[in-house]
Amino acid sequence: MKKHTIKLSKKEKKSLRGILHTGSRPASVRNRAQVLFFSDKGIIDETISDMLGITVRAICNIRRNYCEKGLDKCIFGEKRSGRPREISTTDETELVALACSAPPEGRARWTLDLLKKNTEKKIGKSSIHLLLKKTGVNLGSKKCGVSEN
């Protein structure tokens, strides 16, 4: 006998049908929904494995996640924390303000190297470039970051 048996409620079955029959979903989400749907119908793991092209171990993990965490967390997964941001929004604002200010003495304009040297945070040139691109700041422009209406 299976350790984690699946008995879906009518509401859960309706939710799974919605996932399977509407919109475009990632393959992982569709596979998890199909595993639960087939497991509820009593289809054995090996058959599900052959039908969906996933391992029996993955099927066991999906069933276990459903029993322990519920339908939504099993199907869509839990939110991951991800890597923390290198610089805060305050640091970003200061960097953009610096890029829009007058360049240092003897320089015609700011460069990525100059911005990197003049910031307090340890941040790479590529990160500075991406930030300036995101905010629409053009270091080569005379009117850096300022728009006239």
Give the model confidence (pLDDT) of 45-63 as tens digits: 999 999 999 999 999 999 9
Q: Give dist(CA 138, CA 132) in Å, integer.
A: 7
Number of domains observed in the structure of the chain: 2
**Tokens found for residue 28:** 């992982």
At 147 the pLDDT is 53
Classify residue 83: in a domain, yes or no.
no
Average pLDDT, the chain: 88
Nearest to 129 by CA among 118, 139, 117, 119: 139
Domain, as residue range, for 46? 10-76
- Answer with the one of 76, 104, 123 that is the final residue of a domain: 76
**Whole-model pTM?**
0.57
pLDDT of 53: 95
pLDDT band at residue 142 using 50, 70 and 90 as cut-offs: low
